[in-house]
Structure 1
Amino acid sequence: MDPRVLIAKRVAQEFKDGQLVNLGFGMPTQATNYMPEGVNVMFHAENGVFGVGQRPTASEAKADVTNAGSEPITLVPGAAIMDLATSLGAMRVGLLDITVLGALEVDQLGNIANWAVKRNGKWWPGIGGAMDLCYRTPQVIACLMHTDKGGQSKILKKCSLPLTGKGTVKTIITDKAVFDVGDNILILKEHAPGVTLDEIKAFTEADFIVTNTFCEMKL
């Protein structure tokens, strides 16, 4: 299975019927296509949409119907479209139940860095609305590949990049594992199909403990 699809499928299992859910750029948006049977949630895009549907095919895509990352979206019946200020206001007053964010790094303190890398001496591209989402959503889920292209862990003891949210992440979902964030330590709950505990230990810089119910992801 494509690791990004695996992550999106596992993310979708976190949602409960009736919730309001924001999906960040990239991998999080794929979760709309893998919703569990009988679970109905309202997806939010920070540029001003409540009621985001499944990702469209290329022939269905419309240039003026997109999410905040300019990715094409569909709208479910009853969807609401609003200006950016109203959408950000909904985020800032705590209306959302869950936010799912892609990440460059996360750490065992629940910190997340997802907005900037250094290029030519400058931090790029910019933080956007992710900081508002981190601090005003009760459950923040970080989803990311477990390692970078060089095989180095992105699940760290302490983030090295500028933070988006400090101590805000509750759950981390990667292509290898699922962690909850505990008291300055991660709690390993699940492993991806075919991934062993020894492999997770080898590719994880952060300190973690393993739950008694540690099991394979049910996809």
Structure 2
Amino acid sequence: MVMLWDWDTDAVKLEFHSGHGGNVFQARFMPCTGDQTIVTCAADGEVRLAKIQGSGDVSTTLLGEHGRRAHNLAIEPGSPYIFYSCGEDGLVQHFDLRTNTATKLFFFRGSLTKSGFSSCVQLNAIAIDPRNSNLFAVGGSNAYARVYDIRKYKWDGSSDFGNPSDCYCPPHLVNNKSVGITGLAFSHLIELLVSYNEENIYLFPKNGGLGSDPKSSVEIGANEGCKSTMTASGQDFAQPAP
């Protein structure tokens, strides 16, 4: 169920069945739609659209699917049409409500294994830069938050869009395979906030990334002298990178 609350009266104004067959992980209003358009994602892997009519009736439509649970949506700031989804299958999708279609952008993959194949990273979080909606970041079951530029995507599918524009990771977690990213957020100063399971919360400045190939950047010391701010247990302090 999706429930719309009036916080002033502490009452439910409207509730409706989302159409999902599993736990709804996120429900978001689309901007500039008079709070009449809601998109949802859930444990069944589906991404759905709900339209609230003036009479209070609600119609729901299936927009796209993930092979596993779909945890997070990112809404393009100020757009009533564009949003993204990510899921545990490693897939990132782009949606345009003007066509009600989903475009599969890429599968987020980890490093190559000995067999030469790379496994998909389970994705938990996706966020759009509020100052440049062409940029979005994704994170999941490895240590890297990766930023992509949608302008580099070829809509005819003629190129591989899986290469990020930049990657972010605290230097001491670069080769750590036991941590993963649970949440992402951009600030209006183009900083990237990243939270890790079993670890801390880090704030990276715009120039605090490791580049599109993070392992080589760390090896050549490209991040030397850069500082990130770590926030944990209510304390803020500057932590110089090695």
Question: How does the TM-score come out when normalised to structure 2?
Answer: 0.26
Rg (Cα) greater in structure: 2
> Could you say which structure has the higher helix fraction?
1
> Could you say which structure has the higher strand fraction?
2
Q: Which is bigger in relative contact order (C-alpha 8 A, separation at least 6)? A: 1
Question: How does the TM-score come out when normalised to structure 1?
Answer: 0.28
